[in-house]
Each structure stands twice: as structure tokens, then as C-alpha cells.
Amino acid sequence: MYGEAAVILAELYVPLFRVSPPPLQTRISYLLPSPRTLAGMIASGLGRYLGLNPEAKVDGENVRRRLMWNIIGSNIMVTCRAGTWAYKISNTLRVWLIERHDLLEERKKGRKKEKGEEAFPKEKLMDAMIHEYVSCDKLIVYAITNLDRFARELNTLLRDVGRDEVDPSEVPEMLVRSMRLIDRVGDSESIATTVTASLVGISEIAEEGTLSTMAPAKWIEAHDSNMNIVQDMPITPLIEEGQSVNINKYRPQAMILPLRPKFDKILYYENAPYMARAREGYRILVLENGDSVIAPERLLYGEMRKGRRKKDGRGG
């Protein structure tokens, strides 16, 4: 931990995953889970750890939405990277079609079915579609938060559902245990297993340095990531810097991925950290395990002052 800031690491085993842009039936997949997907994964684990009913209503809003959007999405910087590589594969899936206008028209016209004929023949309701999936050796997920800020928001929900409040000192272990409960990444078929989850120390805070994890492009002033993959992804309120973000609307922002394409018999993507300089109000956190993440200054405590240069301090 660094003052009131904490960084939690989770290493996931995810043989295949698919995180697609809206609408729900798109067939492509991002190369890494989007910030919104990561927030949902941690929110699901936190709800299970706390024993909360995700469908319970509080002031007209269900607990699942408040956990994901108001608590995780607004108070935790979530990011990730692949272990050493990732690649895409395509699967042909036979799927039930949600909408078929021709069948709806038949129903409206009231066409009577012939004897022995199915009202809605299976071949009309199903189709074969090619879907992209991503495979990687492992997925490393990071959650960075301010302990007081996170505890304050969580306690608001706990009071509303009649539960005891938590102390900020309990937050790191709570998040570690929650991230151990992550069981999928993206769609319901993308099963995941948390291999390990732990608190990781911050060894240095700087304005510029090597970034080894996914980062919002607008948080970076200069970088050498010209060969890195950049994808527009759904974001969280924290990344939107306090502006109103509707959970039901698709408002993507450019995210720089620590992946570069490489061809060796097949096209795949290798892990590729890149040099970057953070914009005013953001800092690069060098972690004790050698990884690095970018986070807003407001998630850091005390000794982190605007305008401080290069090394800002050390903590454990």
C-alpha cells in the first residue's frame, strides 16, 4: 500500500474469453477485457463475498448496478494485461436468433400452420455464426483504489441494505477475497479460475516510465506505443473523470493495449510494455512485482502532490 492507496493483483486462468462491443450479438471480441467488463467481474466477486442479493432493490436501483457502477466503476481503476501472449480464434456457433422479422410477420398475418408443421420451424429460428474468442497464457488483472474513498461508498450501500459498515483497513483483504471469486470473463461461456490474488506494493510513483498494462489514451501525454494495439472500449465513470456516464449507453474511449502483433506461422499478439509520460493529474505506479499501471492522483494519498517530478515516494 502507499498511504491510503492499495493495489490488488489477480492472476486468472482463462482458456478462452469473448468480450464484445455492444450490441450484445456482435461477433467480434476485444483482445483484452474492457474496463467496464473488469469492473463487472470484481463487482460480481464483491457481491458474492459480502453475501448480497444482486437483484435486491435499493431506492429503485438493484444492488448489482450499484456495486458495479457506483462503487467499483467510480472508485477503482481497473486494468489488465496478458501474461506473455494472446491470439484470436474463430468458432462457428449454432445460435438461437432473438429476432426474426419474417416470423413476426407470419404471426401478425395469422397464417395457419399445416397439419404436422411446426409453428416456428427450428431451421428458421437457428443460424450458424462465426464468433471470435481470445486465448492467452494468463490474464493479470489490477485494481487500484483509495481505501477511505472506497470504504465510504461501500458503507453507503451497506447501510441501505441493513448491514454493518466496514473499516478502510478491511478493504484490501476484502478486495483480495472478492477477486478470488471471479469465475468468468465476458460472456457466460468464458469460464475463468483465479490462480492467485494478493496485495502488491508500490515501489515508485513517477510522471513517466514504462507502462505494462492497458491504459486510457487520454491519460497519456506522450508514448512510444505506435506499434501497440489501440481499441475503443466501454469505460467506467472513474475513467470519464467524474462526468456522467450512463451504464446503458455505449460511450467508448481509446485504450492502449500492451500488445503488439507478431507473425510466426500464425498471427498472434505478444506482451509489449511501452514508454509513456502521464498527463497532469495522473501518475505511473511502478509495482514491486515489476509491472506498472497508470492512475489518477486522487486515488493516491498525502505525499502525492501535483507538480512533483519523477520519483514521488516509496511505500510498501
Kindly report the CATH number assigned to the domain that includes residue 173. 3.30.70.3120
Judge if 98 and 136 occupy the same domain: no
- pLDDT tens-digit map of 276-313: 999 999 999 999 999 999 999 988 854 344 434 344 44
Average pLDDT, the chain: 84
Task: Check residue 283 and give its pLDDT.
Answer: 95
Judge if 37 and 99 occupy the same domain: no
Sign of the torsion formed by the C-alpha atoms of 68, 7, 271 and 235: positive
Q: Is the pLDDT of residue 316 over 50?
A: no
Judge if 95 and 82 occupy the same domain: no
Judge if 197 and 243 occupy the same domain: yes
Judge residue 244's burial from the number of C-beta atoms within 10 Å of its C-beta, 0-12 exposed, 13-18 middle, 19 or more buried.
exposed
Name the residue range of residue 156's domain.
5-89+131-299
Tell me, yes or no, whether 295 lies in a domain: yes
Judge if 211 and 281 occupy the same domain: yes
Task: Check residue 48 and give its pLDDT.
Answer: 95
Judge if 34 and 174 occupy the same domain: yes
Number of domains forming the structure of the chain: 2
What three-state secondary structure class fits 97? coil
Tell me, yes or no, whether 314 lies in a domain: no
- Between residues 68 and 112, the one the model is more confident about: 68
**Are the C-beta atoms of residues 151 and 120 closer than 8 Å to each other?**
no
Cis peptide before 23 (omega within 30 of 0): yes
Residue 235, Cβ neighbours under 10 Å: how many?
Answer: 20
Q: Is the pLDDT of residue 81 over 80?
A: yes
Judge if 97 and 153 occupy the same domain: no
Tell me, yes or no, whether 306 lies in a domain: no
Q: If you average pLDDT over residues 212-224, what whole number do you get? A: 93
Structure-block grid coordinates of residue 1: 500500500
Question: 37-46, 123-132, 289-298, 304-313: lowest mean pLDDT where?
Answer: 304-313
β-bridge partners, 292: 286
Task: Check residue 309 and give its pLDDT.
Answer: 39
> What's this model's pTM, rounded to 2 decimal places?
0.83
Structure-block grid coordinates of residue 54: 444482486
Judge if 16 and 60 occupy the same domain: yes
Task: Check residue 314 and give its pLDDT.
Answer: 40
- pLDDT tens-digit map of 142-168: 999 999 999 999 999 999 999 999 999
Tell me, yes or no, whether 312 lies in a domain: no
Judge if 82 and 100 occupy the same domain: no
Question: 84-98, 169-183, 252-266: lowest mean pLDDT where?
Answer: 84-98
- Between residues 113 and 195, the one the model is more confident about: 195
